[in-house]
């Protein structure tokens, strides 16, 4: 009698599982139908204004739209700065690079150049120039005021 009761309970449990699978909605088919909503839609991408994120975004100049990005190349010793300036002049940049004093290292004056808003081609040429001055580095950041 116990075996019949266990068999009846197992048959009833199987019937309940079958009914559950039959009448519950399939969530995988819903995700398959919404695949276009899950992908990136290029028509919905909007480009924000200049300097809405990144360094200097909290300054007053960034809120007024006066923020400009620069490539900083340096530091140079005084003799190397003249060579680097002539190399930059050969690139025919739309705006001349700005030369600023950097930190003093052992009493020697050091300089950096700031190139405002370079395009990709000019940035690549500056990176190629940087290889001829191995003690220097290139960084992106806000232009000095």
Model confidence pLDDT, tens digit, residues 55-79? 554 444 444 455 678 888 888 887 8
Give me the sign of the Cα torsion angle 128, 133, 138, 143: negative
Going by pLDDT thresholds of 50, 70 and 90, the confidence category of residue 40 is low
What is the reported pLDDT for 126?
84
Domain housing 88: 68-142
Whether the link from the prior residue into 20 is cis, omega within 30° of 0, is no
Residue 62 pLDDT: 42
Share of the chain above pLDDT 90, in %: 13
Per-residue model confidence as pLDDT tens digits over 5-26:
999 999 999 999 999 988 887 7
Domain of 106, CATH number, reads 3.30.70.260
Evaluate whether residue 61 is within a structural domain: no
pLDDT of residue 14: 97
Q: Is residue 119 part of a domain?
A: yes
Task: Assess if residue 55 is contained within a domain.
Answer: no
Provide mean pLDDT across the span 97-108.
Answer: 73
**Is residue 97 one of the residues assigned to a domain?**
yes
Q: What is the spatial distance between Cα 77 and Cα 26, in angstroms, rounded to a whole number?
A: 70
In a domain, 129, yes or no: yes
In a domain, 83, yes or no: yes
- Is the pTM higher than 0.85? The answer reads no
**Spatial separation of the C-alpha atoms in residues 131 and 56, rounded to whole Å:** 29
Residue 85 lies in a domain: yes
Give the three-class secondary structure for 45.
coil
pLDDT for position 137: 84
Report if residue 11 sits inside a domain.
Answer: no
Please state the domain count of the chain. Answer: 1
């Amino acid at each position: 009698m116990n075996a019949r009761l266990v068999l009846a309970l197992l048959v009833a449990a199987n019937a309940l599982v079958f009914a559950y699978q039959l009448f519950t909605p399939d969530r995988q088919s819903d995700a398959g139908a919404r695949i276009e909503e899950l992908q990136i839609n290029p028509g919905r991408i909007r480009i924000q204004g200049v300097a809405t994120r990144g360094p200097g975004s909290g300054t007053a100049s960034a809120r007024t739209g006066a923020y400009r990005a620069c490539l900083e190349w340096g530091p140079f010793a005084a003799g190397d700065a003249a060579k680097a300036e002539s190399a930059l002049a050969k690139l025919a940049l739309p705006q001349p690079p700005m030369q600023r004093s950097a930190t003093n290292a052992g009493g020697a004056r050091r300089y950096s150049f700031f190139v405002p808003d370079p395009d990709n081609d000019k940035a690549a040429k500056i990176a190629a120039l940087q290889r001829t001055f191995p003690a220097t580095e290139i960084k992106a950041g806000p232009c000095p005021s």
